[in-house]
Homo-oligomer: A and B are copies of this chain.
Amino acid sequence: MSLPGEFRSDNAAPVHPQVMAAIQAANSGSAGAYGNEPWTAAMHEWFKSQFGSDAEAFLVFNGTGANVTALRAMGRPYFGVICSEHAHINVDECGAPEALAGLKLIGLATPDGKLTSEQVSAAASHGQDNEHHVQPMMLSISQTTEYGTCYTMDELGELSQLKDEFSLSVHMDGSRIANAAAALGVSVRDIVTAGGVDILSFGLTKNGAMGVEAVVVMDADLFGLEVRFLRKQTAQLASKMRYLATQVTALGENDLWLDNARHANAMARRLANGIWGAPGITITQAVEANAVFAVLPPEMIADLQRNFRFYIWNERTSEVRWMTNWATSEADVDDLIAAVRDR
């Protein structure tokens, strides 16, 4: 469905037709503002079906809104947030965590986007109980990561042990959580349970929605009140909520959201397989979800950009990123493979 050549971002995709149909279907008559209507009730049901009855979801507008609301809910002003130096909260939110939540981020070097338990342990130990330092009481992990990699269940389990050891609150930036669930072949609840996640930013916009994300609190008694008020204060409470809620349920129906993610992942895998071993190309990250990172000659990049849209991740190292999404077709991918191989 996307135009040939679109590999810039999963945000470049259109809205899935079933989501669009649901939005239209919701457009009938008046409805209570701020979620006081049946569409929002159905959305809540769906999230409880995924995360259990103790969980509660709060819809927000975008990923930055989800992440900042979550961090604000878990944070005290003197807390530090352990995260990857590449984390979206650290490099792509224009300083929102610092400016809106007042929190210091402790960005650790992660060649593949994944924090190791060793480095989290070291960071969580640093400066403890020293009033001159922020207290590293929060951990934020991205699943999948900004490099298209995916924590394994074992890796999540190791981080979860540190949570207990250091009394950390754990946030998961799940902007692409669907791709992770599809990749790991487990439920999202399995993922958050393995990682000891307290609050999950559950992404939908990149996975076929028009524009909606959820802040999912695993224990509503613990952080529910905080998120409810901070969502409003962080300017993330929609008045015509039904149009957000119905996107969720449309994606939930018959696991459309998982199908979308599986398809996106498969397209990235197809691309990686297709270009594997092509002259001059080195794939630089494990292809575990819907992204392919590769180094290729600058002149090849220039050639490809005539017919394909994608980002140059790092000019200096000549590394590019190709993202796939629910709307990427096999033909799109095969065209790109051919262009790479035909040079």
Q: Which residues of A contact B (CB under 8 A)?
A: 1-3, 6, 8-9, 11-15, 17, 20, 23-24, 27-34, 60-65, 68, 72, 76-78, 80, 91-96, 98-100, 102-105, 131-135, 205-206, 210-211, 226, 228-240, 243-244, 309, 327
Q: Kindly state the separation between the CA atoms of A330 and B21 in the bound complex, as whole angstroms.
A: 30
Residue from B8, B32, B244 in contact with A32 in the complex, judged by beta carbons closer than 8 Å: B8
Quick check: A2 and B29 within 8 Å, CB to CB? yes
Q: How far is the CB of A125 from chain B (nearest CB, A)?
A: 11
Of residues A27, A72, A135, A205, which shows the largest number of chain B Cβ atoms within 10 Å of its Cβ?
A: A27
Across the interface, which residues of B come within 8 angstroms of A77, CB to CB?
A: 72, 95, 99, 230, 233
Q: How far is the CB of A19 from chain B (nearest CB, A)?
A: 9
Across the interface, which residues of B come within 8 angstroms of A235, CB to CB?
A: 60-62, 64-65, 68, 93, 96, 100, 234-236
Tallying the copies of this chain within the complex gives 4
Across the interface, which residues of B come within 8 angstroms of A104, CB to CB?
A: 95, 98-99, 105
Of residues A30, A32, A91, which shows the largest number of chain B Cβ atoms within 10 Å of its Cβ?
A: A30
Quick check: A132 and B30 within 8 Å, CB to CB? no
Residue from B12, B17, B78, B103 in contact with A31 in the complex, judged by beta carbons closer than 8 Å: B12
Across the interface, which residues of B come within 8 angstroms of A32, CB to CB?
A: 8, 12
Across the interface, which residues of B come within 8 angstroms of A31, CB to CB?
A: 12, 14
List 21 A–B pairs whose Cβ atoms lie within 8 Å, in order of A's numbering: A20-B24, A23-B23, A30-B327, A61-B235, A62-B238, A62-B239, A76-B226, A77-B95, A77-B99, A80-B95, A92-B133, A95-B102, A95-B103, A95-B134, A96-B233, A96-B234, A98-B98, A131-B237, A206-B239, A211-B239, A211-B240
Quick check: B12 and A33 within 8 Å, CB to CB? yes
Quick check: A64 and B98 within 8 Å, CB to CB? no
Across the interface, which residues of B come within 8 angstroms of A61, CB to CB?
A: 61-62, 65, 235-236, 238
Q: Kindly state the separation between the CA atoms of A95 and B61 in the bound complex, as whole angstroms.
A: 19
Residue from B9, B135, B240 in contact with A11 in the complex, judged by beta carbons closer than 8 Å: B240
Quick check: A233 and B92 within 8 Å, CB to CB? no
Q: How far is the CB of A28 from chain B (nearest CB, A)?
A: 6
